[in-house]
Amino acid sequence: MDNRDEVRTFLTTRRAKLSAADAGPAGFTTGPRRVPGLRRGEVAQLAGVSVEYYARLERGNLAGVSESVLHALARALRLDDAERAHLFDLARAAGPGPRRTRRPAPAGVRPPVQRLVDGLADLPAYVRNARLDLLAVNRLARALYAPVFEPGFDPGSGQTPNTARFTFLDPRARTFWPAWERMADETVAVLRGEAGRDPYDRGLSDLVGELSTRSEEFRTRWAAHDVRQHSTGTKDYHHPVVGDLRLDYESFVPTADPALTLIVLSAAAGTPSADGLRLLASWAVAEHPS
């Protein structure tokens, strides 16, 4: 796999987001421009490289680029932490030598991880992989994500619930996610970042191909090449039984399973969302007593 197209589009879309005013004291001419963003020569100047060298980079050739140049390029393009990490991932994937792949993600979770998830009985907790498959959920998380598991999801069927498919292909998603636009943006940004880290993940490539074919909303967002880090934050839900919930989430990566992410959700004591979680827990016991 050659990631030149990925590199080229990422760099050009980042450059297009900058204006002459963003360049700070460089003193670039402001006013109307034929195309959005800074010119190649201006980015080259900010990064301290020649125009010819930067043009080579923007054509997609990151093979052999030094870390110092990558840092300078990240500063010139004003990349945030997630974008900077993505740039370095793209450079590693383009590097010389044999094809570099991460250890394949496990199809499930190890029993100790499952016990940990189940042990967080008072909080929704689940484990996902890079493709946003829900590989392990506790009872409260399954109740929270009930629309993702419906209709009639059978854990023994070999099918794995996937929040990206749900978000873009299930019409109920726009009700379940009150802030659907934000959730859609974040979902694509997570997948884009994962694709940069491991461009040889066949399952991820297949998922992106499926969603690109079936969802114009996904295609538009995928073409933007936006990446973000989602280690902590807030998610809004409209649950079909308990109504609106605003939950904080924290993400943890198991040391032994770096391709997996554990997500734990909670609500501050005394809030309507905390009351909603207690109601959800009661409903979960009634729906899934074992």
What is residue 157's predicted lDDT score, i.e. its pLDDT?
A: 45
Which positions ≥6 away from 267 have C-beta within 8 Å? 245, 246, 247, 248, 273, 274, 276, 277
Residue 98: cis peptide before it, omega within 30 degrees of 0: no
Residue 85 Rama label (left phi>0; alpha psi -120 to 50; beta): alpha
Of residues 4, 26, 283, the one with CA closest to residue 144: 283
Side chain identity, residue 228: R
Give residue 230's pLDDT band: very low, low, confident or very high (50, 70, 90): confident
Residue 97 has pLDDT above 70, yes or no: no
For the chain, list the domains and their CATH numbers: 4-94 (1.10.260.40), 111-287 (3.30.450.180)
> Would the pLDDT of 24 be above 80?
no
- Higher-confidence residue of 254 and 264: namely 264
Query: pTM to 2 decimals?
Result: 0.84
Whether 169 shows a pLDDT value over 50: the answer reads: yes
Identify the pLDDT of residue 154.
41
pLDDT attached to residue 29: 63
Per residue in 116-156, pLDDT tens? 999 999 999 999 999 999 999 999 999 999 999 876 444 44
Q: How many residues would you count in the chain?
A: 290
Structure-model confidence comparison of residues 81 and 104, the more confident one: 81
Task: Tell me the pLDDT tens digit for each residue of 174-202.
Answer: 999 999 999 999 999 999 999 888 888 89
Q: Residue 152's pLDDT is what?
A: 47
- Reported as a pLDDT band with limits 50, 70 and 90, residue 106 is low
